[in-house]
Amino acid sequence: MADPKGFLTTPRQTWPRRSAAERVADWNEVNEVYAGQHLLPLVSRQAGRCMDCGIPFCHDACPLGNLIPDWNDLAFRDTWQAAAERLLATNNFPEFTGRLCPAPCESACVLAIDSEPVTIKNIEAAIAEQAWRLGCERPLAPPGPSGRSVAIVGSGPAGLACAQQLTRAGHRVAVYERDDRIGGLLRYGIPGFRLEKRLLDRRIDQLRLEGTEFHAGVTVGADLSAAELRARYDALVIAVGATCRRELPVPGRALDGVHQAMEYLPLANRVLEGDFATPAISARGKQVVIVGGGDTAADCLGTALRQGALGVTQLDINPRPGERRTAEQPWPVHPKTYRLTASHEEAQALAGRWDGGRDGARDGARQGWDAPVADAVDMADAVDALAMAGEGAAGADARIFSAATLRLEGDPQGGVAALHLAEAAPADRRPRPGTQQVIPAELVLIALGFCGPEPDSPLLGELALALTPEGTLARDSRFATRLDGVFVAGDAGRGQSLIVWAIAEGRAAAAAVDTYLTGATALPAPITPTDRPLVV
């Protein structure tokens, strides 16, 4: 056990973020630099809050089965190398989960029953960076070649984790990716201010040095047939993600300036990659409305702020969640509570410097849906004012909760100009009569989630794989499809999920492929295809 009295004497303290004013002026990571050695004493003290409970629920809540109490103890004792070895035993990419995971482990921490949980995610990120610094992340030489080969289609976290496990088991592994760069949603979905791409490149370099081959810019099913891959390799893993986007079926959807989030975010990421200076879709100088309430919507918000939007409003059809877990969401489930992401924090800080303006409309909508719509505000001025005055007064949340989009209104040139909304009734989400509002909208971003692998994918067409009723790729308890030697991993089989699940899927599918190729495996399988998060 770390510090027997740590949970009584040390208050929870999370990793500091840079100031909102500094953050919105660049695209660097919002957190203070993780590799910063100056923060290690803070991490050690926080690790000392772990009670090393007899039954560590945090460990069970992590799909990877991360050995959390073990590495908390080692981080508390400043023995970073040993902590890194424990962490890397269960997680191929802790630098991604340490930054991006919603941390169901913290919701399940025993301290969270009546107090603040251990800062598990921060500790994971710190150990992950120490692992690179101390040389624990050197490329691992595989054992002698097995003589077997595997092709993996898709280079998101599921494909990458599967590739690393199988390469390290001695198989020849090649990853095929239709995008021009490797990484899946880590590359072109999640913005640089949440995951700097140098971290992804560092990891891909490691895989390459270990022997994994990468083929970017190849759409399997079109540029190269799946039949050819099956002939060339002993097994095929399909890790193509769940990239079929949900639509916003309202009048005006076809107007110029209405885009899917995943049309918008990749362009912003490509600017950072140096592909072009100005994205074809930009929030600069525009009133932006984001329709949706999840991570993707928050990423659009942070991106629009950095591009210099005139104002940003996010519409969430769900009611505003409470600050704390309710009796209906008892410990240890991961509850839906009110969260202020870094992007929301930034929008709020900027709104604090606005002169009333459209905030009035937002507040009206939130409080009773009867306030008049006010004029636009100037966000560029707000950024300057914030930088001059410091963090000080925070304004309203950029979100309108319980908001149902009714229709989009155009201007004479065919561009979107306004969005009509109404309060969504809690019971059935239908618009409540008499609550209609109109807000300015010159760029509308649709972030309503994803419904499974793309049904018109040439790869799925060629293989004629069976779908589940939910629209994901069907597989058995060994991640295998009905085609001999063809497996499915990640969001393609699970449906829209999380990075931590994708890594767990990649690891477990690798164990199944290894068994198929050699008759046995020593690779770990942290989950089965049907495992799901703990919900009520």
Ligand X SMILES: Cc1cc2nc3c(=O)[nH]c(=O)nc-3n(C[C@H](O)[C@H](O)[C@H](O)COP(=O)(O)OP(=O)(O)OC[C@H]3O[C@@H](n4cnc5c(N)ncnc54)[C@H](O)[C@@H]3O)c2cc1C
176 is a contact residue toward ligand X (CB under 6 A): yes
E strand map for 129-211: 149-153, 172-177
> Tokens for 274?
């140096």
Q: How far is the CB of 66 from ligand SF4 (least distance, A)?
A: 4
Q: What angle do CA 98, 314, 383 make, to 5 degrees?
A: 80
> Which range of residues in 63-71, 138-146, 303-311, 527-535 is near ligand SF4 by CB under 6 A?
63-71
124 is a contact residue toward ligand SF4 (CB under 6 A): yes
Reduced to 3 states (helix: H, G, I; strand: E, B; else coil), residue 339 is coil
Q: How many Å apart are CA 105 and CA 107, to the nearest integer?
A: 5
- Whether the Cβ atoms of residue 449 and residue 496 lie closer than 8 Å to each other: yes
Considering only CA atoms, give the Rg of the chain: 24
Cα-Cα-Cα-Cα dihedral sign, residues 41, 42, 48, 52? negative
Residue appearing with tokens 């083929």: 215
> Which range of residues in 213-221, 318-326, 362-370, 373-381 is near ligand X by CB under 6 A?
213-221
Q: From the list ligand SF4, ligand X, none, pick the one residue 170 interacts with, judged by a Cβ distance below 5 to 8 Å according to partner type.
A: none
- Whether the Cβ atoms of residue 398 and residue 301 lie closer than 8 Å to each other: yes
Q: From the list ligand SF4, ligand X, none, pick the one residue 120 interacts with, judged by a Cβ distance below 5 to 8 Å according to partner type.
A: ligand SF4
Residues 256-315 that bind ligand SF4 (CB under 6 A): none
Residues 142-161 that bind ligand X (CB under 6 A): 153-159
Q: Which is nearer to ligand SF4, 68 or 408 (CB)?
A: 68
Residues 419-478 that bind ligand X (CB under 6 A): 457, 459
> Which range of residues in 119-127, 234-242, 251-259, 300-308 is near ligand SF4 by CB under 6 A?
119-127
Q: Which residues contact 391 (CB under 8 A, 6 or more apart)?
A: 19, 20, 21, 349
CA dihedral defined by 345, 348, 352, 353, rounded to 10 degrees? 90
Q: What is the DSSP letter of 446?
A: E
62 is a contact residue toward ligand SF4 (CB under 6 A): yes
Residues 328-357 that bind ligand X (CB under 6 A): none
Which amino acid would we find at residue 278?
A: T
Q: How far is the CB of 499 from ligand SF4 (least distance, A)?
A: 8
Q: From the list ligand SF4, ligand X, none, pick the one residue 137 interacts with, judged by a Cβ distance below 5 to 8 Å according to partner type.
A: none
Q: How far is the CB of 339 from ligand SF4 (least distance, A)?
A: 15
The answer for 186, left when phi > 0, alpha when psi is -120 to 50, beta otherwise, is: alpha
Distances (CA, A) of 303 to 59, 269, 297, 468: 34, 9, 10, 35
Q: How many Å apart are CA 377 and CA 311, to the nearest integer?
A: 6
Out of 150, 289, 403, 502, name the contact with ligand X by CB under 6 A: 502
> Which range of residues in 53-61, 431-439, 488-496, 513-521 is near ligand X by CB under 6 A?
488-496
Instruction: Give the strands of the sheet with 403-410, arranged side by side.
Output: 403-410, 416-423, 437-440
> Which range of residues in 100-108, 175-183, 447-455, 510-518 is near ligand SF4 by CB under 6 A?
100-108
68 is a contact residue toward ligand SF4 (CB under 6 A): yes
Helix (H) or strand (E) holding 89: none
Q: How far is the CB of 224 from ligand X (least distance, A)?
A: 8
Out of 6, 48, 56, 104, name the contact with ligand SF4 by CB under 6 A: 104
Interacting residues toward ligand SF4 by CB under 6 A: 62, 64, 66, 68, 97, 101, 103-105, 120-121, 124, 500
Site residues, ligand X (CB under 6 A): 100-101, 153-159, 176-179, 184-185, 189-190, 219-221, 239-241, 243, 265, 295-296, 299, 457, 459, 490-492, 497-500, 502
